[in-house]
Amino acid sequence: MSEEKTQQAARTVSRRPADAKRTCDPAAMEMLECAACRGEQTMFDRYVAQSPQCPFGLAGICCRICIQGPCRINPRRPGADKGICGASEYTIVARNIARYVAGGAACHSDHGRHAALTLLHAAEGKLPDYKLTDTAKLRVVAERIRVQTSGRSDNEVAKEVALAALADYADRYGEPCRWLSSTITAGRQDKFKHCDIAPDGIDKAIVQVLHRTAMGMDADPVSIIFGALRTALADYTGMHIATDITDILFGTPEPVVSEANLGVIDPEYVNLAIHGHNPILSEVVVDAARNLKSEAVAVGAKGVNVVGICCTGNELLMREGVYLAANQSSQELAVMTGAVDAMLVDIQCIAPSVRAVCECYHTKLITTADIAKIPGSHHFDFREDRALETAEAMVRLAVAAFAERDPEKIHIPKHKATVIAGWSLEALLDVFSKVNPESPVAVLTDAIRSGELKGVCLLAGCNNLKGPHDEGHLTVARELAKNDVFMVATGCSAGAFAKAGMMNPDAVERYAGRGLKAFLARLSAAAAPKHGLPLIFHMGSCVDNTRAQDLLTLMAKELGVDTPKVPFVASAPEAMHEKAVSIGSGCVALGIPTHVGVMPHIEGSQLVYGVATQIARDVYGGFFIFETDPTKGALKLIEALDYRSWKLRVHHEAATRYGTAVATSW
């Protein structure tokens, strides 16, 4: 298929669920054509094969919590309007959602624990392949959580920070987790205390919600949802630990220019795709790949080209400028280019099907985590105390596979786009500080108060094949850009923007409304960034949503109000994973109007639906906006921003006029 044709196909993307080729990404479209010709199956085909999906599951009214079940609620069948034990639809829906949150929190927090343990052992001098890269951040984090820094060595401070992080996992006997209370506003601390949802131990919150939702436990949907919110805040805590400690170990990201999409796979290099989430592994693999360049040259390649997939790709893009090849739904398609010599995976979001795809090619699949093995792949037991040695062994497998390529099967789409990534909150504030050195974040809040910007949106989350791949992300962002919304992005959402060329200065010209354009131009003029400023700022992986949540907290402090009054919204246009459910729930508790573009399994209970969309707003100020049409979703987000910025303006004007403090009781 010619390039023009694939682009056209992507533009007129099919919305029919029975059509397997549903993507907005021209590179993915080209590979789907290729897969169809070769008779290879992808998750796009399997979505069709799974359709129609079970209506009970979709509505969240299938209970499999005990083995007397499954019980399916059918309000129209006498006697079947409750489970065998008598559980009502609202109990079942709430329990199922709470268990998603537990799953998501477990993923993020276990990842954070791994980072904390690595920091501890590195500080103890047990890990020669790891060092404290950003000691300035180490000290900032230490002071924030009240660990003494003066007169102590970096290693001493790091050890205590790591132990404090690990202590947040255990039982703090009623004392909220330190990573939560030290990063949110005083208003949120009070709110969480008042509602009794501040976790006093990450592991404890996860265990408790599993206990609470077991057979014969909590039947009250509101109580279950409050328990789920505590777990969502435990998720936030674990994510924040992961981000902080990863920055300390590998450096806080700074603006970096790179490229994204399948076109970054280079046939002249040994291509090593790294997929998953864990920078503790992938950072060392990047070092190993650099070390082994000569071995790659010896087999006739120009070197080793590391390309990222999903969030470990985002982590490497942010810190090392490593190319991003694919997001969640296009992971199999990277292998189908026939030029990926090895795919190295760690944890989370790895489709087991990559094994079957690798079998059709010469690609070696390497698993590295004992909790994420895939039958038939090469398993390396990755341990931090011999990290580089193991990483080099894995890279050698890719180098050896280079010679086994089948030239007939190589097909690499040409599509790729420039991306300016590396926008940690520190990097963003650094740019703002060039305009306002005294109060960098005021650059943003002033632009909102003056009406130049409507507010801020965090675009996050996964791909979900219930809709065309990447379409939700791109549509929401285009609408927000046109309407002068400042955008930051993480996860596979950021992956979609990077691939589509929406994270570079050209995109500003193309998509930004007048206000957003003027705002970014002012920043550019003052900061003169080397590579220009992007339309959407890449803040990193999914755990890095905490960077954006820290931005919200800073904005609230600057505006003198609590977070539910800040014109700040979030959107997960293609949410899929349990992690997205926990992040979204945490956003709501933090006071953020949160759009979800895929219907979660909640429609089976009017009551639970009402709690998520209405009652949450009364209690926390944040609420869910479930809207599967991305254009309408964007409009609802803009409406939420307009409402908040209008109110802010009114109250700030009144405060200025009467010389009073800004009212906060609205």
Residues 261-280 binding ligand NFS (CB under 6 A) are 277
Q: What tokens appear for 105 in the block?
A: 């929190």
Given phi > 0 = left and psi -120 to 50 = alpha, else beta, which region is 175? beta
User: How would you class 36 by CB atoms within 10 Å of its CB: exposed for 0-12, middle for 13-18, buried for 19 or more?
Assistant: middle
Span from 77-85, 132-140, 365-373, 402-410 in contact with ligand SF4 (CB under 6 A): 77-85
- Binding residue (CB under 6 A) for ligand NFS from 31, 106, 229, 349: 349
Give min distance, CB of 104 to ligand NFS, in A: 8
579 binds, among ligand SF4, ligand NFS, none (CB under 5 to 8 A by kind): ligand NFS
Q: Does 355 bind ligand NFS (CB under 6 A)?
A: no
Residue 69 and residue 200 in contact, taking contact as beta carbons nearer than 8 Å: no
Q: Does 553 bind ligand NFS (CB under 6 A)?
A: no
State how far the Cα of 277 lies from the Cα of 316, in Å rounded to an integer: 10
Residues 509-528 binding ligand SF4 (CB under 6 A) are none
Residues 487-526 binding ligand NFS (CB under 6 A) are 491-492
Residue 609 and residue 259 in contact, taking contact as beta carbons nearer than 8 Å: no
SS3 247: helix
Of 129 and 603, which CB lies nearer to ligand SF4 in the complex structure? 603
Q: Does 310 bind ligand NFS (CB under 6 A)?
A: yes
User: How would you class 343 by CB atoms within 10 Å of its CB: exposed for 0-12, middle for 13-18, buried for 19 or more?
Assistant: buried
State how far the Cα of 455 lies from the Cα of 452, in Å rounded to an integer: 9
Span from 58-66, 200-208, 265-273, 632-640 in contact with ligand SF4 (CB under 6 A): 58-66
SS3 531: coil
344 binds, among ligand NFS, ligand SF4, none (CB under 5 to 8 A by kind): none
How many residues make contact with ligand SF4 (CB under 6 A)?
13
How many residues make contact with ligand NFS (CB under 6 A)?
15
Pure H helices in 145-220: 154-167, 178-181, 186-194, 202-212
Of 32 and 576, which CB lies nearer to ligand NFS in the complex structure? 576
Q: Does 539 bind ligand NFS (CB under 6 A)?
A: no
SS3 277: coil
328 binds, among ligand SF4, ligand NFS, none (CB under 5 to 8 A by kind): ligand NFS
Q: Does 399 bind ligand SF4 (CB under 6 A)?
A: no
Residues 6+ positions from 496 with CB-CB distance below 8 Å: 25, 327, 463, 470, 473, 474
Q: What are phi and psi of 283, to 5 degrees?
A: -60, -40
Span from 72-80, 434-442, 576-584, 655-663 in contact with ligand NFS (CB under 6 A): 576-584
Q: Does 576 bind ligand NFS (CB under 6 A)?
A: yes
Give min distance, CB of 150 to ligand NFS, in A: 37
Q: At what angle do helices 545-559 and 442-449 cross, to 10 degrees?
A: 60
87 binds, among ligand NFS, ligand SF4, none (CB under 5 to 8 A by kind): ligand SF4
Q: What tokens appear for 121 in the block?
A: 């052992």
Beta bridge partners of 536: 487
Q: What tokens appear for 333 in the block?
A: 């398609």
Q: What are phi and psi of 314, to 5 degrees?
A: -65, -40
Of 213 and 463, which CB lies nearer to ligand NFS in the complex structure? 463
Element (H, E) at 342: strand 342-345
- Binding residue (CB under 6 A) for ligand NFS from 261, 305, 328, 337: 328
349 binds, among ligand SF4, ligand NFS, none (CB under 5 to 8 A by kind): ligand NFS
Give min distance, CB of 476 to ligand NFS, in A: 15
- Binding residue (CB under 6 A) for ligand NFS from 542, 552, 590, 596: 542
What does the buried/exposed string (b/e) look like for 118-129 if buried means 16 or more CB atoms within 10 Å of the residue's CB?
Answer: bbbbbbeeebeb
Using alpha carbons, list the distances in angstroms from residue 225 to 213, 464, 586: 10, 24, 12
Give min distance, CB of 347 to ligand NFS, in A: 10
Span from 64-72, 481-489, 492-500, 623-631 in contact with ligand SF4 (CB under 6 A): 64-72
Give min distance, CB of 56 to ligand SF4, in A: 12
Of 115 and 492, which CB lies nearer to ligand NFS in the complex structure? 492
Of 212 and 277, which CB lies nearer to ligand NFS in the complex structure? 277
Residues 191-230 binding ligand SF4 (CB under 6 A) are 215
Residue 600 preceded by cis peptide, ω within 30 = no
491 binds, among ligand NFS, ligand SF4, none (CB under 5 to 8 A by kind): ligand NFS
Give min distance, CB of 492 to ligand NFS, in A: 3
SS3 560: coil
Span from 171-179, 217-225, 279-287, 575-583 in contact with ligand NFS (CB under 6 A): 575-583
State how far the Cα of 573 lies from the Cα of 496, in Å rounded to an integer: 11
311 binds, among ligand SF4, ligand NFS, none (CB under 5 to 8 A by kind): ligand NFS
State how far Cα 279 lies from the chain centre.
14
Q: Does 57 bind ligand SF4 (CB under 6 A)?
A: no
CA-atom Rg of the chain in angstroms: 24
What does the buried/exposed string (b/e) look like for 464-490 if buried means 16 or more CB atoms within 10 Å of the residue's CB?
Answer: bbbbbbbbbbbbbbbbbbebbbbbbbb
Span from 20-28, 205-213, 234-242, 573-581 in contact with ligand NFS (CB under 6 A): 573-581
Q: Does 462 bind ligand NFS (CB under 6 A)?
A: yes
Q: At what angle do helices 545-559 and 578-589 cross, to 10 degrees?
A: 10
Element (H, E) at 596: strand 593-596
Tell me, letter by letter, the H, E, C secondary structure of 170-188.
Answer: CCCCCCCCHHHHCCCCHHH
Of 215 and 400, which CB lies nearer to ligand SF4 in the complex structure? 215
Of 258 and 483, which CB lies nearer to ligand NFS in the complex structure? 258
Site of interaction with ligand SF4 (CB under 6 A) = 63-66, 68-71, 83-85, 87, 215
Contacting residues toward ligand NFS, per CB under 6 A: 277, 310-311, 328, 349, 461-462, 491-492, 541-542, 576-577, 579-580
